[in-house]
């Protein structure tokens, strides 16, 4: 059931994205030949007016086919004036930008709904998930309540900072190196107070030392409309920055391992729905926003590539040669496939190794 919800959610994002392209193309008078959910081979189709509506067999996205996307495309005389490359630059940019814009707006709306109507879970100091091969696995149990660390009491944030204050003994810190001295924890377990200690280890992804446990979530707390809007914008900006930095992560060995593909995103989505279906709203917002940002990367065949070359045409005041765009498209296609393969490789490694960490 969870996988059906995941598939439905991704389908919804694709449909809305392509509807953005489709609606604006129709609005500005372009001829839309085909609107397809998923890629060929086509399973079912129906022609209404001049547009064919179809469902493909490969569930990896969707597309809107507009007449004249290829400048050298041979078209009947009666439709040439409505072809894509026959339109002014502003119309082409509007059509291409409409898809990502729908995802951007949808992401902001979903984030607002999440913060205002559902709410984030409140913080607790109870131990939730414990990661294998981390120090916490040998000294803590799920359900323990952390009272203090090194005599310092407080909420989850303060306790985490105290644990992280135990710096790695190596300089510079390396993955898995232990802190110079142990963290001393006071925990409540089964109605009794227990003292335990462990040396946190350095996690390069978190850029700090950790014991390797997550806090159990408390009850949800919805925010007022004003605070929900502020939180939505802050989350929107944070996710945008993280996604925009994706190409740079390819050149960093540690960050490269964090890139996920379709399998990874689907697995995390499934786990999220299983743990709490309400969190699926925020996850859908994240995926929608990430989809929009990635699509705006300025290389073909993504939307950002089409926008980029339309702007170049506007600046140089004459069409860009098709051969130039084709060469750029090959480079862009290689980059897209490279990211896909990298994400898939990481996903397989997680599935066969330590598994996916939802948190």
| 86, HSE (Cβ side, Cα atoms, 13 Å) | 18
Overall pTM > 0.75 = no
Distance CA 276, CA 9 (A): 15
Query: Residue 46 has which token pair?
Result: 């129906």
C-alpha to C-alpha distance for 91 and 32, rounded to whole angstroms: 14
Q: Residue 340 corresponds to which tokens in the numbers above?
A: 């896909």
Radius of gyration for the alpha carbons in the chain, expressed in angstroms and rounded: 25
Residue 208: count of CB within 10 angstroms of its CB: 18
CATH of domain 127-216: 2.30.42.10
Do residues 94 and 25 touch, judged by C-beta distance below 8 A? Answer: no
Task: Give the number of other Cβ atoms within 10 Å of residue 19's Cβ.
Answer: 16
**Distance in angstroms (rounded) separating the CA atoms of residues 198 and 137:** 10
Helices marked H in the chain: 2-27, 89-113, 136-139, 156-164, 225-244, 246-249, 253-256, 262-275, 279-295, 303-316, 322-352
| Cis-peptide into 41, omega within 30 deg | yes
Q: Which H helix or E strand runs over 39?
A: strand 32-48
Pairing of strands 213-215, 127-130: antiparallel
Q: Per-residue pLDDT for the chain (359 aa), expressed as one digit of tens each?
A: 556 666 777 888 888 999 999 999 999 999 999 999 888 899 999 999 999 999 998 876 788 999 988 877 888 888 889 999 889 999 999 999 999 999 999 999 999 999 999 888 887 889 988 988 899 999 999 999 999 999 999 988 899 999 999 998 788 888 889 998 999 999 999 999 999 999 999 988 788 899 999 888 888 888 999 999 999 999 999 888 877 877 666 655 555 555 554 444 445 545 554 556 677 788 888 888 888 988 898 887 889 989 999 999 999 988 888 788 878 877 777 776 666 666 556 545 544 544 434 33
Look up residue 276 and give its two tokens.
Answer: 């709490």
Three-state SS at 156: helix
Phi-psi region of 191 (alpha: psi -120 to 50; beta: other; left: phi over 0): left
Q: Note the pLDDT of residue 299.
A: 82
The predicted pLDDT at position 249 comes to 64
Domain locations in the chain as residue ranges: 88-121+223-359, 127-216
Answer yes or no: are the C-beta atoms of 127 and 169 closer than 8 Å.
no
């Amino acid at each position: 059931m969870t996988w059906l919800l995941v598939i439905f959610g991704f389908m919804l994002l694709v449909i809305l994205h392509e509807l953005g392209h489709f609606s604006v193309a129709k609005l500005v008078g372009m001829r839309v030949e085909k609107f397809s959910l998923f890629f060929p081979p086509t399973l079912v189709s129906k022609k209404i007016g001049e547009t064919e509506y179809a469902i493909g067999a490969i569930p990896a996205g969707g597309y809107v086919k507009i007449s004249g996307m290829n400048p050298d495309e041979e078209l009947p005389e009666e439709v040439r004036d409505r072809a894509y490359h026959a339109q002014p630059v502003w119309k082409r940019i509007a059509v291409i930008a409409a898809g990502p814009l729908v995802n951007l707006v949808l992401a902001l709306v979903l984030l607002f709904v999440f913060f205002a109507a559902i709410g984030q879970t409140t913080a607790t100091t109870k131990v939730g998930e414990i990661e294998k091969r981390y120090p916490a696995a040998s000294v803590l149990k799920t359900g323990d309540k952390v009272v203090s660390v090194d005599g310092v009491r407080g909420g989850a944030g303060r306790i985490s900072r105290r644990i992280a204050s135990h710096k790695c003994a190596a300089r510079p810190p390396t993955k898995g190196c232990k802190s110079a001295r142990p963290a001393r924890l006071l925990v409540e377990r089964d109605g009794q107070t227990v003292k335990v200690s462990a040396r946190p280890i350095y996690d390069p992804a978190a850029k700090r030392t950790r014991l390797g446990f997550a806090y159990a979530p408390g009850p949800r707390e919805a925010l007022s409309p004003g605070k929900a809007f502020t939180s939505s914008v802050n989350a929107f900006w944070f996710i945008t920055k993280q996604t925009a930095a994706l190409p740079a992560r390819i050149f960093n060995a540690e960050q490269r391992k964090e890139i996920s593909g379709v399998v990874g995103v689907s697995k995390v989505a499934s786990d999220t729905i299983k743990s709490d279906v309400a969190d699926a709203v925020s996850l859908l917002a994240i995926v929608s926003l990430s989809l929009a940002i990635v699509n705006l990367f300025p290389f073909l065949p993504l939307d950002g590539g089409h926008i980029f070359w339309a702007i170049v045409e506007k600046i140089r005041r004459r069409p860009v040669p098709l051969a130039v765009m084709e060469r750029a498209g090959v480079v862009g296609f290689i980059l897209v496939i490279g990211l896909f393969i990298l994400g898939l490789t990481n996903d397989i490694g997680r599935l066969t190794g330590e598994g996916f960490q939802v948190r």
